[in-house]
């Protein structure tokens, strides 16, 4: 499994890789939901690349950016077991250098429901996903249906900007008690989990 940390290295790796190419974007803390995305990508694509990047743009000022679970070593182990071909693991500075100022605002769909209580969140998601799609230029990119609004935002962005990547949505994976698997489930107390 190739690990690339710069955009330049990533582009170089991709030049020689087998096609079609599938991208599974993540913020790490790899769980069974991610595994399902990767397994689906492995069926469709000859090369599967996973990105691990905790995207600061999608966290509000009072959200959990600093405490978001970061467990790169165990993530890499899991990705290796899943036979992912490459991992793009850039630093925040690599993706958003000091002079970075562009934001992708997808419009109304970003401002309702979760977007209403998390202003700027979906612009942050759209901006990083747009960057990843432009850097990696995959045939397919995989997202969990669990994040239904995120899927709609990304589909709208890809359509509006004529990005060639096909967005593929993968059914939600659940814990045995029915809760949709998420990296943040570890924050939930027992009572929050069942409320």
Distance of closest approach, residue 69 Cβ to ligand PAF, in angstroms: 12
| Spatial CB neighbours of 180, under 8 Å, sequence gap ≥ 6 | 33, 146, 172, 173, 174
Query: Per the structure block, which two tokens stand in for 82?
Result: 């899943």
Whose Cβ is closer to ligand PAF: residue 64's or residue 194's? Answer: 64
3-state SS, residue 48: strand
**How many of the chain's residues bind ligand PAF (CB under 6 A)?**
10
* 147 contributes a contact to ligand PAF by CB under 6 A: yes
Nearer to ligand PAF, 14 or 52 (CB): 52
Segment 58-97, which members bind ligand PAF (CB under 6 A)? Answer: 58
Burial 96-115 (b: 16+ CB within 10 A, else e): beeeeeeebebeebbeeeeb
* 139 assigned to active site: no
Structure tokens at 79: 């990705």
Q: Which of residues 115-134 bind ligand PAF (CB under 6 A)?
A: 125, 128-129
Does a cis peptide bond (omega within 30 degrees of 0) precede residue 193?
no
Least distance in angstroms from the C-beta of 150 to ligand PAF: 6
| Position 24 contacts ligand PAF (CB under 6 A) | no
Name the residues that contact ligand PAF, by CB under 6 A. Answer: 25-27, 55, 58, 125, 128-129, 147, 150
- The residues assigned a catalytic role are 34
């Amino acid at each position: 499994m190739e690990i690339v940390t710069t955009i330049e290295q990533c582009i170089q790796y991709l030049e020689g890789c087998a096609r079609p190419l599938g991208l599974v974007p993540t913020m790490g803390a790899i769980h069974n939901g991610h595994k399902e995305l990767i397994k689906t990508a492995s069926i469709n694509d000859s090369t599967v690349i996973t990105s691990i990047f905790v995207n600061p743009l999608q966290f509000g000022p009072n959200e959990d950016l600093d405490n978001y679970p970061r467990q790169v070593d165990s993530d890499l182990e899991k990705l290796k077991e899943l036979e992912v071909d490459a991992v793009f693991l850039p630093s925040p500075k690599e993706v958003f250098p000091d002079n970075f100022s562009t934001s992708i605002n997808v419009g109304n769909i970003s401002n309702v429901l979760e977007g209403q209580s998390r202003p700027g969140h979906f612009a942050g998601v759209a901006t990083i996903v747009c960057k990843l799609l432009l850097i990696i230029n995959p045939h397919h990119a995989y997202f969990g249906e669990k994040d239904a609004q995120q899927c709609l935002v990304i589909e709208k962005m890809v359509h509006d900007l004529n990005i060639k990547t096909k967005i593929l949505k993968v059914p939600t994976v659940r814990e045995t008690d029915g809760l949709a698997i998420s990296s943040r489930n570890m924050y939930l107390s027992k009572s929050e989990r069942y409320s």
